[in-house]
Structure 1
Amino acid sequence: MLTRLCEVAIGELRMSGAVVSLMTPVHATGDQSGTITAASSDGARSVDELEFSLGEGPGRDAFSGSRPVLTPDLEKAFDRWPGYVPAALAAGVRATFAFPMLIGAARFGVVHLHCSRARTLTDHDTATSLMLTELATEIVLDTYAPAGEHTPVDVPLLRPDDRRDEIYQAQGMVMVALGVSLREALARMRAHAFASNQELAAVAADILAGRTHLEPDTDGAP
């Protein structure tokens, strides 16, 4: 799903590459460790690997600063990243746009977009980039959080082997039963999973089997 998101990003935003990297801070050194989870191409992956090799770059700054780092022209950024810039230019990258993946104060990684020419993002491009970053964050939270551990928002999440189709089916059933939106239906399922100390997939399976029925609010409003 993250690879598909990268492919959508380069198509919608006219980029030459897109990468999703999961990162964690290393508090003892102030550095970050991370891994590239998905990329639109091997070339885009190689560009992002430069940051881990050189210890600097826009993606690392976006993560450490918890804010987007927009670089319309890398040729004007030599002073900021003296090692990364020449290597990225040699790889055919001229502009980069890095967006941190955040939930509140918690950081998870970066969506990093590359372009082969100097350019700025329009307001529409920026809004699309932020939307894709939010979607990437949701995918990561729903897929990669370790079983039994809660995210900073206390939501039990999925493991890679969970069946997402069952969750979507159960989500639709809850939507119809309670007369709520799809988003609200999923929120109700997650709340029930947290309250009952279950994984979301297990709650979905119980809903589909008729073992669990989510109730509307006590005031009668769903």
Structure 2
Amino acid sequence: MSERAFTDAALALAVAAENGSSLCPSFLNALPVTHAAISTLGAPFGSETICASDGQAARLDELQIDFGAGPCWDALRTRTPVVDADLQEPTESGWPLLRGVLRDAGVRSLYAFPMAIGELNVGAVDLYATTPAALSPMLIARASALADLAATHVLRKVLHRLPAVDDNTDSATYSRREVHQATGMIIAQLGLKAEDAQDILNAHAFALGRSVRDVAADIVARRITFAPDGTIDGD
């Protein structure tokens, strides 16, 4: 696929939250795949298909969620892409039953990419092809970059559906100013936009079971810091 196709796909993902469009078409347009699905997996957001390019992709994604095993789970657990270039070839994967179902569905290659923000697990992107093919290192890098972009928007979508985090509204212990300061520090540490930094703050508080103001106070006091390599110190 061309550099232009990748750039267009990245731009489409960047504005997906604003225009309400599906995240899956970007992967189909930028990569040599036939089906795409994106899901949240496990704690803290539960397991659910967020989008699918078609009914086949949705069914295959649901199978992995039902089995509790498969490439998407392996990708998120290891924080690395899972590439199976030919499902007809023998393998020692931990999901032989699923491989058989995929083959029966006409899938010959599958690729799964983790979605995580810092230490927070979000989910995975599952891609399927009807012809056997190994992705080149360049295509794997591009798919990983698109998965990173998708992770932020999936996180935002899921957070908007969750009950509001207890923010100690009636307490004078913390000022809302600290929330703004903490958001600014996350922007500086991770190079994010303000909206994305706020989502990271909310998600981290939710994952810890703490209030946003509580976590913000720790960030301002540098008891919690977000490193560019994805690690979070001070939890």
Corresponding position of 1:64 = 77
Q: In the aligned structure 1, how far is the partner of 2:28 from the partner of 2:56?
A: 13
- Among 111, 122, 133, which residue is 2:125 paired with? 111
Q: Structure 1's 105 and 42: CA in aligned 2 closer, same or farther, altered over 3 A?
A: same
The Cα shift of 1:60 comes to: 1.6
Give, in angstroms, the shift of residue 185 of structure 1: 5.6
Counterpart pick for 1:91 among 105, 125, 129: 105
Match of 2:165 in 1: 148
Secondary structure at the residue paired with 2:123?
Answer: strand
How far is the alpha carbon of 1:149 from its aligned partner?
6.8
- Kindly state the Cα deviation for residue 116 of structure 1 after the two structures are TM-superposed: 0.7
Q: 2 CA distance for matches of 1:41 and 1:47?
A: 10
Q: Distance in 2 between matches of 1:37 and 1:5?
A: 9
**Compared CA separation, residues 73 and 185, structure 1 to 2 (3 A):** closer
* Structure 2 counterpart of 1:13, from 31, 34, 44: 31
Equivalents in 2 of 1:19, 1:41: separation in Å?
A: 8
Q: What is the deviation of 1:33? A: 5.4
Calculate percent identity across the aligned residue pairs: 27
Displacement after TM superposition at 1:64 (Å): 2.3
Query: Tell me, what secondary structure is at the counterpart of 2:96?
Result: coil
- Quote the Cα distance in structure 2 between the aligned partners of 1:74 and 1:184: 39
Aligned-residue offset at 1:184? 6.1
1:190 CA displacement: 3.8
Partner residue, 2:40: 22
CA shift for structure 1 position 7: 0.9
| Residues 39 and 149 of structure 1: CA distance in aligned 2, closer, same or farther (over 3 Å) | farther
Name the CA shift for 1:149/1:66 in 2 (closer, same or farther; >3 Å): farther
Q: Which residue of 2 aligns with 1:171?
A: none
Q: Is the 8 A contact 1:96 1:113 kept in 2?
A: yes
Which whole-Å CA distance do the structure 2 matches of 1:188 and 1:120 have between them?
A: 33
Q: Which digits, 9 at most, give the CA deviation of each residue in 1:67-106, with x for residues without a partner? A: 2111111122554222011100111111111011111222
Q: Tell me, yes or no, if structure 1 residue 74 matches structure 2 residue 87.
A: yes
The answer for the alignment partner of 2:63 in structure 1 is 50
SS where residue 19 of structure 1 aligns? strand
User: Do the aligned partners of 2:40 and 2:48 also contact (CA within 8 Å) in 1?
Assistant: yes
Superposition RMSD on alpha carbons, in Å? 3.2
Number of aligned residue pairs: give it: 159
Q: 1:78 to 1:86 in 2, by over 3 A?
A: farther
What residue is the counterpart of 2:233 in the other structure? Answer: none
Greater gyration radius = 1
- Call closer, same or farther: CA 1:131–1:185 in 2, change over 3 Å: closer
**Which residue does 1:36 correspond to in 2?**
49
Contact 1:54/1:83 (CA < 8 Å) preserved in 2?
Answer: no
Evaluate the alpha carbon distance shift between residue 36 and residue 149 of structure 1 in structure 2; reply closer, same or farther with a 3 A threshold. farther
2:22 aligned partner, one-letter code: R
Structure 2: 5+ residue stretches without partners: 1-15, 168-178, 180-190, 203-211, 214-235
Asked if 2 retains the 8 angstrom alpha-carbon contact of 1:50 and 1:87, the reply is no
After superposition, the Cα gap between the structure-2 partners of 1:37 and 1:149, relative to the gap in structure 1 and judged at 3 Å, is farther
Q: TM-score, normalised by structure 2?
A: 0.58
